């Protein structure tokens, strides 16, 4: 009996997913727990295993399609002779349901977007699976309904998007992945939401060198430790902006940006302030490795209250990172390099690092940001690190 494979719920706030790649060809045999499909959302990309052994009898959604959670995307012909209702690895398997005729379904993201722009969804023509209305459909409807604008443009308004055109000789069009589109949308939205300001500090990393080498740690656990301690001193950095006021977070969950081949993910270290350097080192390495191999769980990229991006891993010295909404700040860590510095009126060679803090000026002012960064710098430059292992 055929088994329905539906788009899984990959997190509480996730309403849809994009099919990146079918890992088994139609008609191909698949073993239980063998990766069946690669799915991508605006928060995570992962491989979904097959819930049973059998043959992929029918593929209903093609690669590149974005479909709502609960949509039937394929059917598996199992060797079992009875229907199955099971949940394995986030995939729901159940007998084929009879869909109601003419039933409308809009994802929460689409309904929210329509509400923000005052759009009647019954007036929007859907281009998604089974005629469903997508976020792109709503945005295009808004643009078409908007009255013509005068030639002059406010300096704060976003620049017009270049119209699509066929490539000429010597040009190549690279298709934009769902992850890349999501990153683009969120980065632009963040720049238009928060009042971005950046402050730079330089820190001497020589105080942690002995502990780092003896315990084979990277620099990042030390930075995470320094940040969490500074947050206890300046708790407003662990907050978010809302219409009701500034919300101070009691728990400290640190997101660590991980560069992928085609994008960026930010897995989260939960309660980072309660963990020692060695545990932080293990978690950072584990999360980064599973992010690159698409084996993160959806909950592991949610709930962050502050983000650290280690752009120095590729040799970069300075950066002005964009805030990860709804957080109010992000710390950039540059490359640690030996440089001549003046210490007690003498020139010395020390491992130095530039730290940058992009912060939301709606929430804090420069004095508060600098106070926080002074704390981070001071904690990094201490020499008694053994007690934090």
Active centre residues (catalytic) = 361, 365
CA distances from 274 to 41, 232, 253, 271 (A): 30, 12, 10, 6
The helix (H) or strand (E) run that includes residue 232 is helix 220-233
What is the tally of helices (H) and strands (E) in the chain? Answer: 7, 21
DSSP lists the bridge partners of residue 259 as 264
Query: In sequence order, which residues have a C-beta less than 8 Å from that of residue 330 and are 6 or more positions away?
Result: 306, 307, 308, 309, 321, 322, 323, 324, 357, 358
Instruction: State how far the alpha carbon of 304 is from the alpha carbons of 127, 205, 272, in Å.
Output: 34, 26, 10
Region for 344 from its dihedrals, namely left if φ exceeds 0, alpha if ψ lies in -120 to 50, beta otherwise? left
Give the long-range contacts of residues 142-145, CB within 8 A, separation 24 or more. Answer: 142/117
d(CA 15, CA 91): 15
N residues, the chain: 389
Beta partners for residue 29, in sequence order: 55
Say how many CA atoms lie within 13 Å of 360 toward its Cβ: 23
φ and ψ of 336, to 5 deg = -85, 115
CA max distance for the chain: 83
The residues, ordered by sequence, that sit 6+ positions from 166 with a Cβ below 8 Å of its Cβ are none
Pairing of strands 254-256, 268-269: antiparallel
Measured between alpha carbons, how far is 323 from 47 in angstroms, rounded to an integer?
Answer: 28
């Amino acid at each position: 009996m055929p088994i329905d494979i539906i788009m899984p719920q990959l997190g509480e706030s996730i309403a849809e997913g994009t099919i990146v790649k079918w890992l088994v060809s139609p008609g191909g045999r698949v073993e239980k727990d063998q990766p069946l499909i690669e799915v991508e959302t605006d928060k995570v990309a992962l491989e979904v295993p097959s819930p049973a052994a059998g043959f992929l009898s029918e593929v209903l959604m093609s690669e590149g399609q974005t479909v709502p959670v609960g949509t039937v995307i394929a059917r598996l012909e199992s060797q079992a002779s009875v229907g199955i209702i099971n949940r394995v690895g986030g995939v729901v398997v159940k007998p084929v349901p009879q869909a109601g005729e003419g039933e409308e379904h809009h994802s929460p993201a689409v309904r929210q977007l329509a509400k923000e722009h005052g759009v009647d969804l019954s007036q929007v023509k859907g281009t998604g699976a089974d005629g469903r209305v997508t976020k792109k459909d709503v945005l295009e409807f808004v643009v078409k309904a908007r009255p013509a604008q005068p030639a002059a443009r406010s300096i704060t308004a976003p620049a017009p998007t270049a119209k699509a055109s066929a490539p000429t000789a010597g040009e190549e069009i690279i298709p934009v992945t769902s992850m890349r589109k999501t990153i683009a949308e969120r980065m632009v939205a963040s720049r238009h939401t928060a009042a971005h300001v950046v402050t730079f500090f330089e820190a001497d990393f020589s105080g942690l060198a002995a502990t780092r080498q003896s315990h084979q740690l990277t620099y990042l656990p030390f930075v995470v430790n320094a940040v969490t301690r500074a947050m206890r001193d300046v708790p407003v950095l662990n907050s978010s902006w809302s219409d009701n006021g500034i919300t101070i977070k009691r728990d400290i969950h640190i997101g660590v940006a991980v560069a992928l081949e085609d994008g960026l993910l930010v897995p989260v270290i939960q309660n980072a302030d309660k963990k020692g350097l060695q545990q932080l080192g293990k978690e950072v390495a584990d999360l980064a490795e599973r992010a690159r191999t698409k084996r993160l769980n959806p909950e592991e990229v949610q709930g962050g209250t502050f983000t650290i991006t280690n752009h120095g891993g590729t040799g970069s010295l300075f950066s002005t990172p964009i805030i990860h909404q709804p957080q109010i700040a992000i710390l950039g860590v540059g490359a640690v390099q030996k440089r001549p510095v003046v210490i007690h009126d003498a020139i010395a060679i020390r491992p130095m690092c530039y730290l940058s803090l992009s912060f939301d000026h709606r929430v804090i002012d420069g004095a508060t940001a600098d106070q926080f960064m002074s704390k981070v710098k001071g904690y990094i430059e201490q020499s008694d690190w053994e007690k934090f292992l």
